[in-house]
Structure 1
Amino acid sequence: MKSTRKDKAPRPNKPKTLLQQLAAKPEKLFSGAFRQQYAALCFRFLPEAAGIEILVVTSRDSGRWIIPKGWPMKGRKPYEAAAIEAVQEAGVSGKVRKKPVGSYTYLKLLDDGDVVPCIVDVFQIEVTETAGKFKEKGERILAWVSPDEAARRVREIELKSLLVEFVPR
């Protein structure tokens, strides 16, 4: 006689991956319920026209490599919100382009455990100033790397393409 699941000890609740959580609620992907975010693609020119470096930071929760990003801010234009995120998350500021250089999508794990798809508009910032103190100092690791290395570090496929193909405008 086969044993049924009821006969066995209960399994501990193992956390599900973002994809597993989304697969359980596929309607979220197709309901048009994408949340908007804004990101800062921070870069600096290397001396003697040797190219550029891009700033990547770690996320506070998982420690994965990202670019500074956040939610829309009341009373702020999208490019202003991206610039504020760059200051808060990495202590950098500079010349911000008002039109996005691209966008990417990803799955965001919210504080309540819910998962939502997000679309992120990316604004370039030519970094001219770095602060010794900033809001999230000590909560993130910052790295200035080549566009190829930045693309290797981030997970999101569309962001990888943006970083590899990025040309300052």
Structure 2
Amino acid sequence: MSKRSPKARVRDQYGAAPYRIGPNGGLQVLLVTTRETHRWMVPKGWPIKELGALGTAMREAYEEAGVRGDGGPALGSFNYLKIMRKGPNQICEVEVFPLLVREELEDWPEKAERERRWFVPEEASDAVQEERLRAILMRLPGSLGHGA
């Protein structure tokens, strides 16, 4: 990330790295497209106080990707610049939690606004732009104790 002015405020967000064991026994991770730029990303969003960090990440996975499952301890974090429709753009730091997918829904709140796709970790890492998110996705199998 480039230098930012002392006035720049980093905003917290929480995200999920939804994963499953695919048909061939290898780990797969689910990414969604962003609404505005259609870039591949993990489901993420602003904190929901009453849900806490992991609960917020799990809610975002449901709303943006249509998946539910079991969450685990944070895998790490990454920064990105959120382009705002109104007001100044925001520098965000996203704490990412693993989410073992137990249910993949046919219909979900943001289905019409996003595409979702399963990737092997290496392909998911190549699909995203944020360097620290790439590293999190590449480390995912080892973080979960699953050889890829």
Do both share a fold (TM > 0.5)?
yes
Q: Which residue of 2, 17, 22 corresponds with 1:46?
A: 22
- Counterpart pick for 2:38 among 53, 63, 82: 63
Q: Which residue of structure 1 lines up, in the alignment, with residue 57 of structure 2?
A: 82
> How many residues are treated as equivalent by the alignment?
143
TM-score by length of 1: 0.79
The CA RMSD over aligned residues, in Å, is: 1.8
Q: Deviations over 1:11-66 (max 9, x none)?
A: xxxxxxxx9xx88xx41xx4461100000000001246x32000011001110110
Q: CA deviation at 1:155?
A: 0.6
Structure 2: which 5+ runs fail to align?
none
Alpha-carbon separation, structure 1, partners of 2:8 and 2:90: 11
Q: Which amino acid aligns with 1:107?
A: L
SS of match in other structure, 1:166:
helix
Structure exhibiting the larger radius of gyration computed from Cα positions: 1
Q: Which runs of 4+ in 1 moved over 4 A?
A: none
Gap runs ≥5 in structure 1: 1-18
CA distance in 2, matches of 1:46, 1:109: 34
TM-score (norm 2): 0.89
- Residue 128 of structure 1 corresponds to which residue in structure 2? 102
Partner of 2:123: 149
Distance 2:34 2:130 in 1: 13
For residues 64 and 113 of structure 1, do their structure 2 counterparts lie closer, same or farther at Cα, with a shift above 3 Å needed?
farther
Instruction: Give yes or no for the alignment of 1:34 onto 2:10.
Output: yes
* Percent sequence identity over aligned pairs: 36
Amino acid at match of 1:68: P
